[in-house]
């Protein structure tokens, strides 16, 4: 029988090979090369947005770049779901790498929430941690942590420091 620690380690250190491709109708000055990343399962797509945006900005005009969003096989990817959950729900039976399409136009207002800043992501993450702790440990763990511990937990996730 697998020990809980082994499962936790596999999830925490797990990576998903991913190929980001610019949507075919995006206006570019030259052909956009795909961008490959190993995404941590316990992170959020919005934490890799800067890397992906920087890669595709090289081939686009500034005026054609607005809010970035991602989709997989026609399904917009919710930024507030962890990467591993999105992959498991939508693509776990697909071949790797996970092929994600990048959009800069036509934000799907009815399907996705806007993500105005990293502060919003941090607040959402901490809320999820508190909720999970309340369910599993009756809030004992999170209540014993100091503010600096909360910040350190967030910074570890944000900087992909396991």
Angle between helices 118-137 and 147-158 (to 10 degrees): 120
What's the CATH number of domain 1-103, 3.10.20.620, 3.40.50.2300, 1.10.8.60, 3.30.2310.20? 3.10.20.620
Residue 162 confidence (pLDDT)? 46
pTM of the model: 0.78
Residue 78 confidence (pLDDT)? 93
Hey, where are the domains in the chain? 1-103, 118-159
What's the CATH number of domain 118-159, 1.10.246.190, 3.90.950.10, 3.30.360.10, 1.10.287.130? 1.10.246.190
Residue 103 confidence (pLDDT)? 94
Cβ atoms of 26 and 105 within 8 Å: the answer is yes
Q: What is the mean pLDDT of each run of 10 residues along the chain (162 residues)?
A: 69 87 86 93 88 90 82 94 94 93 92 82 78 77 77 74 49
- Residue 158 CB partners (closer than 8 Å, separation 6+): 47, 118, 122
Does 1-103 match 118-159 in CATH topology? no
Residue 161 confidence (pLDDT)? 52
Residue 101 confidence (pLDDT)? 97
């Amino acid at each position: 029988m697998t020990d809980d620690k082994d499962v936790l380690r596999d999830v925490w250190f797990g990576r998903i090979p991913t190929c980001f491709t610019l949507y075919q109708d995006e206006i570019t000055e030259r052909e956009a090369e795909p961008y490959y990343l190993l995404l941590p399962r316990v992170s959020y797509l919005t934490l890799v947005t800067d890397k992906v945006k920087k890669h595709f900005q090289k081939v686009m005009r500034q005026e054609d770049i607005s809010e970035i969003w991602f989709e997989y096989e026609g399904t917009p990817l919710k930024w507030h779901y962890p990467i591993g959950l999105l992959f498991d729900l939508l693509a776990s039976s697909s071949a790797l790498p996970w092929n994600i399409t990048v959009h800069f136009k036509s934000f799907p207002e009815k399907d996705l929430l806007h993500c105005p800043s990293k502060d919003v992501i941090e607040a959402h993450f901490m809320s999820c941690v508190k909720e999970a702790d309340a369910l599993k440990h009756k809030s004992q763990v999170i209540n014993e942590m100091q503010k600096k511990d909360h910040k350190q937990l967030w910074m570890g996730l944000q900087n992909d420091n396991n």
